[in-house]
Amino acid sequence: MKKLALILLTMLCGFFTNAQEKEQNFDVVSYTLPNGWEQQLKEGGLQLSISDKKSGAYAVAVIIKTSASTASANENFNNHWDNLVKGTVQLNSSPKMSSPINENGWDIISGGANYTDAGHTGLVTLLTATGAGQTVSIILMTNTKNYQNDLTTFLNSLKLTKPSQNANNKASSVATNKSKLAGTTWQAYSLEKFPSSYNATGGFYSGGFWFLQYKFNADGTYQFVYNGASAFAVNPVNVLQYETGTYSISGNQLTITPLKGSNEEWSVGKINNGMSDSHIREVLESRLKRLKTQTRKLEKITYPFKIEYWEGNKEYALMLHHIQNTVRDGSPGANNYSSFFEAQPGKRSHLLPK
């Protein structure tokens, strides 16, 4: 993959080295592990990394294992950028794209952008290869120039096994199953209520809300977002929780494997007495400044699932079966299902902050 390395090295500002390390393999990718780097097998991929604890400098390469996909090379890059990069770091700009190339049967698209981490600027680069009904991605991140030679070694060593044409059949089969979910936003939401002084058994909408949203993509990645706030809190904040990763389907079994995630609290505008309920909700749904960020528990779960048409709602529902509480879905509802409805045009969608 030396043509690609030459393109990306202009982003990384590195220098060529002669690698003597042993070639290694993961999935369809072969590579050279630079001296001093560690590698760790994770759900959905392989992470290679090196860091300096004293200075906080680091460099990371993550190889995301192949998944079946009927999407185009551009679509796969955009989906992976949105779900595996954009949802995990604070980007300072849109990706600067390199010229697409074709190598060994793969259409390869790459792009990079600066990001901010603990007050330091870093560079994240995404390489996405698409071929024969499959896609594979590699993510590079560093907040220093100290490991430029190592990244050069790694990039120069990258090779992709020629994709098997049999993967097209697999992709078609997977696409049939994933078409039940892919390309659709599934969401559940509620507005808080409290008893009206005029009718103790009734209620009316207050200024609070909660909102859950799943978005499944054709390339096997997903995004989950929870957003909520309460008008009854002494110091109201907008709670934003999100994660991204991969999913797979086998029969009626949906396995969700998160790779990255975060729990955050954001400040909101000032709430004054006399505001209407709808105005209060607009204030609480705003996100002005990030106040707190916490590591999110990443929970891999296999759900029995089904998609049913709810006559009363006049819409389809994605129903995930679980007996125990989950980090994403909370407690199950009726018959141990959590239900998420197909988003309709014009309905509000809660997305991650840019």
Q: Are 313 and 342 in contact (CB under 8 A)?
A: no
pLDDT for residue 231: 77
Q: Are 237 and 267 in contact (CB under 8 A)?
A: yes
Cβ-Cβ contacts under 8 Å for 155 (sequence gap 6 or more): 1, 4, 5, 8, 9, 12, 14, 140
> Rounded to 5 degrees, what are φ and ψ at 279?
-70, -40
What SS3 state is found at 119?
coil
pLDDT for residue 266: 94
pLDDT for residue 269: 86
Report the C-alpha gap between 142 and 133 in whole angstroms: 31
Cβ-Cβ contacts under 8 Å for 83 (sequence gap 6 or more): 217, 221, 222, 223, 244, 245
E strand or H helix at 157, and its extent?
helix 148-157
Write out the chain's pLDDT in tens, 354 residues. 554 444 454 444 432 333 345 789 998 999 999 999 999 887 678 999 999 988 889 999 999 988 877 778 888 898 888 878 886 778 888 899 988 899 888 999 999 999 987 777 899 999 999 988 888 999 999 999 999 889 988 988 999 998 876 555 444 444 434 456 777 889 887 766 544 333 333 444 456 788 899 999 888 899 999 998 887 777 889 999 999 999 988 878 899 999 999 999 999 988 887 777 778 878 888 889 999 999 899 999 999 988 887 876 677 889 999 988 999 998 888 788 899 988 765 555 566 666
Residue with tokens 């008893």: 195
Q: Are 244 and 257 in contact (CB under 8 A)?
A: no
Report the C-alpha gap between 256 and 246 in whole angstroms: 6
**C-alpha separations of 332 from 209, 215, 222, 329 in Å:** 19, 20, 21, 7
Q: Tell me the sheet residues that pair with 160.
A: 29
